[in-house]
Chain A
Amino acid sequence: MKKLGKPLLGTWFVITLCLLAYGLYVALQDSPPDAQQGNMIRAFYYHFPNWIGAGIFLPLNLLASIAYLALRNRNSLAAIKADALALATAEMGVLYCTLGMVTGSLWGREEWGIWWTWDARLTTTLMLALIYVAYLMTRHLTSGPSRATICAVLAIFGFVDMPIVYMSTTWWRTQHPAPVFGGGENSGVAASILRPTLWNVAAWVAWGILIVTIRYLAESQSQLRQQQEAMNLTEGLPVKETSNV
């Protein structure tokens, strides 16, 4: 498997680059402007994939965090791998979430005339991003054996906001439109918009998988090395003799 790893990663890298290049071409050159929004519809092709990315990697962070909590006292090697995956997916999820908000704000300024509004969708999304920023700050600014456990618990609580973000446009009246896919009878997009959307979703999800894999490999190697160093240190320590006096 280790021998297969590098060529597999290299092949995935090439596929991702091709997808990104084709996605960019379709978004900018091979799709028509919208009747209402003009060329601004092209913002959607780089806004929507960010939320699909967040919608994939943040649930993965939840699963990895649950796996870590389940395995930490049974299988330390698997627990380290689960913790490394949780970190990698959280970083990628926060990046997608931030880019989704930034691109949405730039798009909204043109279409709605405002950069930001405190409606339910945008506010719950900001809360989601801040919860995961808190998760990453806890990861990077603290140390000690309980750090991974605290982060895993924080990730589980943080994920509770995710379904609220998705349902916010249904539960409350918001500036933001209903979900594009699975948002009820009037959801969905025109065929001319669908093609560039799907190509860019595929491209940015492929990119996310590539970078999460690299980040996971780096973090798991680093944690395994730290564990090995700690074991070497404890093996070298003299055994303390207790006196009965």
Chain B
Amino acid sequence: MFSPWIPYDPAIDTPLGHRNLVLIYCVVWVAQIAYGTYAVRRWIASRKSKG
């Protein structure tokens, strides 16, 4: 899905390298957004229980 966004030139890149590059960008975004969501949910929960 995200692979067209990530540059790939068969003359200088390998298919494995391209797949790993796509994975690197996806893993970082997914993990950070997941943890960010967890942090915001905990914050909302603590504000609700405070009120």
Closest to A210 in B: B36
- Chain B contact residues, majority secondary structure: helix
Contact of B6 among A28, A38, A204 (CB under 8 A): A28
Contact of A103 with B24 in the complex, beta carbons under 8 Å? yes
Q: Establish whether residues A38 and B9, one from each chain, have CB atoms under 8 Å apart when the complex forms.
A: yes
What residues on B are CB-neighbors of A102 within 8 Å? Answer: 24, 27
A32 CB to nearest B CB, Å:
10
Contact flags (1/0) for B19-31 with A, using CB distance below 8 Å? 0110111011001
The residue from A24, A39, A215 contacting B39, defined by CB atoms under 8 A apart: A215
Residue positions of B touching A, CB distance < 8 A: 5-9, 12-14, 16-18, 20-21, 23-25, 27-28, 31-32, 35-36, 39-40, 42-43, 45-47, 49-50
Chain A residues within CB distance 8 Å of chain B: 24, 28-29, 33, 38-40, 42-43, 46-47, 50, 91-92, 95, 98-99, 102-103, 106-107, 109-110, 204, 207, 210-211, 214-215, 217-219, 221-222, 225
Q: What are 23 sample pairs from A and B whose C-beta atoms fall under 8 A apart?
A: A33-B7, A33-B13, A38-B13, A40-B13, A40-B20, A42-B21, A43-B20, A98-B31, A99-B32, A106-B21, A106-B23, A106-B24, A109-B20, A110-B16, A110-B17, A110-B20, A210-B36, A214-B39, A214-B40, A221-B43, A221-B46, A222-B46, A225-B50
